[in-house]
Each structure stands twice: as structure tokens, then as C-alpha cells.
Amino acid sequence: MPEVAIVVDTTHYMPRELVESNGLHEVSLYVNAGDRHERESDMPDFDAFYESLRTSAQLPTTSQPSIGDFLTVYEPLVEEGRDIVSVHISGGISGTVESARQAATDLASRKPQRRIEVVDTNSACGIIGLSALAGAAAARAGGDIDAVTARVRAAVDVAKIWFAVDTLEFLRRGGRIGTAQAWLGGALKIKPILTVDGEITPIERVRTSGRAFERMVDFLRARHDDGCDAWVVQHIQAPDQAAALADRGREIFGKEPVFVGEIGPVIGTHVGPGLLGVGGIPSSLLG
């Protein structure tokens, strides 16, 4: 068992088998709808959630894990004699990383012989996943907490993610629109392409879904040209387009993606169905 454990929040959206095979530990965010307060990790049926999202007059809300949620995950790992690197969604769009820091401070006061390093990825989704996988690779290789943290931060520094959404309406209604606020109005009829760089950041606007798809291919090609050949495809309720995009990625990289998967309710609440996204880091960071 590696001496350093990797903790992530549920907004990475990697396939379950990849999480388990890499020994990652999860802390769940929450989705709140009406009188229901549900852990995202307990919501495997994304189809039902997104059908409700399409038809509901009122958006669900989302909330970060509590300090207690983090301690529930951290404490058994510390009791095993392990240090922890905790890798999370950007603090610019969620308070998750701050809850992690407070939990780490609390535990350090009681278990000073162990260390917990909290990493803000300044991003979301696939970048959290790839950064955590980089850390897991360093831990498996015998790295101490400094080496594992350095590997995760190296992945964060080079990682990029882009995503096309059908509309800005969900971001506007959910209050997570960031600097893409400037595109509201007539922009609701176009296909925005965004990234996460601390907060939701606009990249460009295109007029058709076909053009948005081709821009995702362009971004994969740019990752290839930059030597970032550990690549991912993510989507929301767009499995056919994601499969087609993965096929184009295989042509570009000559290798399989690290994963292809669907983004879940916490992020989905704010961006809506129809998202298509890509990202990548150098495969050398995955060891």
C-alpha cells in the first residue's frame, strides 16, 4: 500500500473502475432539489436527473462537502499511518477546496505526525481526474508526500480543458457564469466554448453544433502538438458525439483515451445537457 493516499471530490467524473484500480478515495458534493439533499456519489442514474433538469422550472442547487465529510475520509487514512494529497475542483467555482483545507488543519492539530496537502486544480472534471491519476502514479512508485504533491501540481500546471455547451442559460441561472457574463443576450442562440481557469472563462463562440465538435477536435490536436498525449473526452447526455470525438482523438494520438465518460449532476446542474469536452496532460506524468 502506498504511503501517500490520494483523495478527490466527485466532480472528476472518471469511470468507477479507474477510481478503484488507482486506489483513489472520494468525498462527495451534494445536489439539492426541493426537500432532497443527496450525495452525488449516491446518484448513479444520470439519465433520470437530466430528464428532470430539462423539464424543471427551478434548477437544483449544489453544495460543497462539509469539513466533517472530509474528516470521515481523512481520519481512517491517517490512522493507517498514511499522508494525504487531496485534489479538488477550482476554489473559484466551489467552496470544496476550502472545506478540505479546514479539515486538514483540524486533523493536523490532532495528528501532527501526518501531513495533508490540499491542491486546488483551478479547474474541474477531467483535469481533477488526470491530476489525481498523476499523483497516484507517483505514490505507487514510492514517492513521499512532497514527490506526490509535486507530481499533482505539475499536472495542474500543464493541464487544459475545453468544453462546448448548448447554451449559457444554465450557467446564468446557476450563478456560475463568470466572465462569460459578457456573452449573455444574443449569445444564448450560439454555441459557447469555455474553459475553467480558476472560474468559468469564455474562449470563443460558434454558430452550430457541428462547428463546436470540430473545435473540440482542434483542441485535441493542439494537446497532441503540445506533447499532452494523455487525453480525455467528457460529455453530458451526448454519448454518440462523445464516441465520435473519441474516434477522432484516436486518429490524432494513435492511442486510447485515458477515459471517456459522462459528467454528473453537480457540474451538470450548471452547464446543462449537451456538453462536449476534451482535455489532456503529458502521459509521462501518469508514470
pLDDT at 175: 53
pLDDT at 179: 47
> What are residue 128's phi and psi, to 5 degrees?
-60, -45
Q: How far is CA 117 from the centre of its chain?
A: 18
- Sketch out the chain's domains with CATH numbers: 4-157 (3.40.50.10170), 160-286 (3.30.1180.10)
- Give 63-66's long-range contacts (Cβ < 8 A, gap of 24+): 63/29, 63/30, 63/32, 63/37, 64/29, 64/30, 64/94, 64/95, 64/96, 64/98, 64/99, 65/9, 65/27, 65/28, 65/29, 65/30, 65/96, 65/99, 65/100, 66/99
For 86, other C-beta atoms within 10 Å of its C-beta total: 29
pLDDT at 33: 85
- The residues of the chain scoring below 70 in pLDDT are 170-189
pLDDT at 78: 98
pLDDT at 190: 75
